[in-house]
Structure 1
Amino acid sequence: MKVLIGGYTKHDSKGIYELDFSGENETARLDEAKNIIEVSGPTYFRKDGNLIFAINKPNNNEGGISVFKLNNGQYEEVETYLTPGSSPAYVGINRERHLLYTANYHTGIISVFSYDENGKLTLLDTDTHTAKTLGPRPEQVDGAHPHFFDETPAGNLVCCDLGNDTVEFYRLNDENKLEHLATYKNEAGFGDRHIVFSKDGNYFYVAGELSSKINVVKFNENTWEFEDIATYSTIPVDWDKHNGAAAIRISNDGRFIYVSNRGNDSITVFAVNEDHTLKLLQRISVFGEFPRDFNWDDSEKYVVVANQNTNNATLYLRSSEDGMLTPIQHDIEIPEGTCVVFSN
């Protein structure tokens, strides 16, 4: 097993790094990071077999997606799709249907691509978010900011818009065109960033970057009815410094939710109650600063968080019984990390 970490390349980073995983349980360790792909600003990326789809920001005028294919132990760039302006902030994937979804925070554009086994990209459709319901915070007043674009449990598409405080739902029709289906509106200033769904597909949990909150919502993916269930803070009640909630993940059994806090520099762990409300279990240090992303292996036993501002990562053991995290390795050197992917 290996861990891949990419991020910004403003200082020392050259792109995407690979760290070998060794040992098990309390003796598990990540070895020294090796640069395997040189690419500018791979702040988010996805892997499908021998293909890696990475955000690329090669210059100040263009940004987009580059595709790298593993050949004879080395990754080679096989495709690049660039557009004027900033690069996307998020990449989603459907490996069975060979589809990619991108959300561009700065341009407001969400896009759907198809790809073949060699990594060739074909743009299927786009939609541009407009300033319909902008929130009051400084990060929102300049326009729409789609920050996430991926699939729902029923196979529709969902986008979180930080600028508009909304969750937008779409379908990709038989002509491979995006059709807007519904909108869920959060409280003003919530700053919708990322979203996860319950195991039964009847609830979603959306992380608000600007509010440092998680909103629990019951919804029906046939009638598009929404019910606001509850909202929870990801930071302590007495925290008075800046914080931005970032990544959110839910365990495969649907029992635990995890969210990273950039500022409080922690991972907050919630238990999911039978009625889908949440119970705070743990708030644990990331042993660094600005944890934009974290991820786990297929068994969800090991968790790695990347700390962007302190150029390090931390490895935890996760209990499947009580959901708690136990740190087992600190100060893993990795430059400017913002995206973590486990690879077999």
Structure 2
Amino acid sequence: MIWIGTFTAKGGAGLQGLERAGGSLSLVPGEARILNASFGVWSAERGIAYFDDERDVGRVSAWHRQSDTWIALGDVESGGSAPCYLSLSPDATRLAVANYGDGTLALIDLDPVTGAVKASCDQFRPQGHGFNAGSDADRQDGPHAHCAVFAQDGRAIYHVDLGLDRIFRHRVDGQEIADTQIAFEAPAGYGPRHLLFHPDGVHALLLCELAAEILLLKRQSFGFELVEAAPSAPEPSESKNRGGHLAIDAAGAI
């Protein structure tokens, strides 16, 4: 089963199901209560999915999947505006939330027994406006968090800001976001969107939406250095053919 989030304001009907049968795909009844889910993350161990609700006053919800039914486990504020990305800590005790609208990174506690969402325990929002303002004034008028991923050991969060052309690194200290550093600064106007760690443990990939490029980065102790850049689409970026997400298999193929 494939699940597709839809925006209510644009005619969406909640979370839609897409089923493969006989070599074709068909829509099946979904869950109308899961609204504006532009991103979700799955906890296979608990059978729980976490979804954002990308609205001006953002929310994050938890849903247990049981016997072809979605069971609500509650929802909380996302800690910012227009949440667009979630990641689950390796020990499944916290969510990192990237709020695109106001650029806030939020940390949300999860119930250690049920996996239900609890209140946001800390937030971070970069100071300033348009440090590296590029050619897209609307997208780079200030901070716009677009991705937040935990380090493999869960002790740090890397958060990508499309508006500021930066990757920030934060240490996770209990329930706090601490020791913020700039881990990488992309060229002005590149609009970095999605960070993906390579399975070799040495490299990472950074999808830059506004420049339509993928950057190969080499990991350092607290940051990254640029190794190589390649276009993410065959057409020039002016065509608006820009990437939104990266995935990679165990062999390292994108």
TM-score bucket (shorter structure): 0.7 to 0.9
Deviations 1:25-63 (A, max 9, x none): xx4x333332224232111112223422211257x5x22
CA contact (8 A) 1:37 1:75 kept: no
2:10 alignment partner AA:
H
- 2:12 aligned partner: 13
2-structure distance, mates of 1:217, 1:85: 29
CA contact (8 A) 1:219 1:225 kept: yes
Indicate yes or no: 2:90 matched with 1:89.
Answer: no
More divergent stretch after superposition (132-141 vs 228-237): 132-141
CA contact (8 A) 1:7 1:44 kept: no
- 1:232 aligned partner: 230
- 1:124 aligned partner: 121
Matches within 5 A, 1:254-269: 254=252, 256-257=253-254
Q: CA deviation at 1:102?
A: 0.4
Greater Rg, structure 1 or structure 2?
1
- 2:170 aligned partner: 170
- 1:294 aligned partner: none
CA contact (8 A) 1:50 1:69 kept: yes
- 1:149 aligned partner: 148
Q: Alignment RMSD, CA only?
A: 2.4
2:105 alignment partner AA:
I
- 1:218 aligned partner: 218
- 2:244 aligned partner: 246
Deviations 1:287-335 (A, max 9, x none): xxxxxxxxxxxxxxxxxxxxxxxxxxxxxxxxxxxxxxxxxxxxxxxxx
In structure 2, relative to structure 1, the CA distance for the partners of 1:93 and 1:248 (3 Å cut) is same
- 2:64 aligned partner: 69
CA contact (8 A) 2:232 2:242 kept: no
In structure 2, relative to structure 1, the CA distance for the partners of 1:141 and 1:13 (3 Å cut) is closer
2:200 alignment partner AA:
D
Contiguous gaps of at least 5 residues in structure 2:
none
Q: CA deviation at 1:118?
A: 5.0
Which structure shows the bigger proportion of residues in strand conformation? 1
Q: CA deviation at 1:239?
A: 6.7
What secondary structure, in the 3-state scheme, does the structure 2 residue paired with 1:10 have? Answer: helix
Q: CA deviation at 1:192?
A: 0.6
2-structure distance, mates of 1:89, 1:244: 17
Q: CA deviation at 1:198?
A: 1.8
In structure 2, relative to structure 1, the CA distance for the partners of 1:71 and 1:198 (3 Å cut) is closer
Indicate yes or no: 2:201 matched with 1:206.
Answer: no
Q: CA deviation at 1:237?
A: 5.1
- 2:133 aligned partner: 135
CA contact (8 A) 1:148 1:160 kept: yes
2-structure distance, mates of 1:181, 1:211: 24
What percentage of residue pairs aligned between the two structures are identical? 20
